[in-house]
Amino acid sequence: MKKINNSTKVIVGLSGGVDSAAAAYLLKKQGYDVHAVFMKNFAERVGPGHECPWREDRLMAYRVATHLGIPVETWNFENEYHAKVLRYMVTEYQRGRTPNPDIMCNKEIKFKLFTQKAKRSGAQLIATGHYARISKDTRGVYHLHKGKDANKDQSYFLAALDQSQLRSVLFPVGSMTKPRVRALARRLKLPNADRPDSQGICFVGKVPMDAFLKRYIEPQKGDIVDTRGSIVGTHDGVSYYTIGQRRGINIGGGPALYVVGKDSKRNRLVVGVHDDLALLRREITVRDWHWLGGSHRFPLACTAKIRYRQANQRVTLRKTGKTIMASFAVSQRAVSAGQTLAAYRGSELVGSGIID
């Protein structure tokens, strides 16, 4: 637990959502000198009917700050967001991979640039409304744990954080359930107490991924083939699809088809049925391995997830040269290169890497 005193300045990232609003209230109640910042990271029109909601979000953040009686301002990280998150995202899709922009946004924007500017502004700590928890051991090492609410746990999105970031952040709602947060917000009469949770790309909003990517990647017609190599349709570009995807293939007259492979060199999309063996992998190669709270010995028996909403799966991690081989007890469906594998021991997220 980080030291609390009345002179400790904390800057809360107010997103306009109820979780960060509740976080700001809890910190003020605990005696912190609470300030709020709304981060403006993306403000472009993303297509007909898909306006970026930043204006609405900022208005709500300011209403919350006024309601709580805390100062608030806007910090603009649009250029950095484009350079660090959008460019990475588009490049990965162009390579036929499926990145996780939320994890990169947390690593480079929310818990790096935001933290750095907060400290230049005199803050000792920052805080967000993430459902995750942090502990500190007797050696002074910080550890990231799942949030108490299993349905809302967001530790997966924080899998790329390091010690300097973990020691600088507070997650006030991490030990609460979402219903309890909602109840608190209603009791406080917060203006966003019943506002729906945000969805979609980090700071962009809910927009079809193919429509968003077409802003940056030119369409390129190609063949859709089945697992035997027979042409069954056409597509606008393999970059717009991800492994396991069903929607958007637009081939009717038979069983539901899923993306089981992408051949970027030949611009071919490979499709199969739900139980196609091409969708299953028991062993996964992971690169760029990163420990969060101290290294562990290999081989490491633990659990892991390869996407946010997945239940933890039993796995053994082995180091092979510069990469990690993850051997799962049960074959994993729709493994997507570019996604993050997050490894857990109990509630603690101990390490992560990028799937190849």
- State the Cα–Cα distance between residues 268 and 235, nearest whole angstrom: 8
The active-site residue, picked from 104, 201, 202, 204, is 202
Q: Which two tokens stand for residue 222?
A: 């190609």
The active-site residue, picked from 27, 105, 190, 257, is 105
Helix axes 54-68, 18-29, angle to 10 degrees: 20
CB 150 within 8 A of CB 301: no
Q: Is 105 a catalytic residue?
A: yes
Question: What distance lies between CA 271 and its chain's CA centroid?
Answer: 27
Q: Is 52 a catalytic residue?
A: no
Q: Which two tokens stand for residue 47?
A: 């297509």
Q: Which two tokens stand for residue 291?
A: 């420990």
Q: Which two tokens stand for residue 29?
A: 């109640």
With vertex at residue 272, the alpha carbon angle to CA 266 and CA 276, rounded to the nearest 5 degrees, is 125
- State the Cα–Cα distance between residues 339 and 355, nearest whole angstrom: 6
CB 294 within 8 A of CB 141: yes
Question: What distance lies between CA 55 and its chain's CA centroid?
Answer: 22
- State the Cα–Cα distance between residues 115 and 107, nearest whole angstrom: 11
Residues with active-site annotation: 105, 202
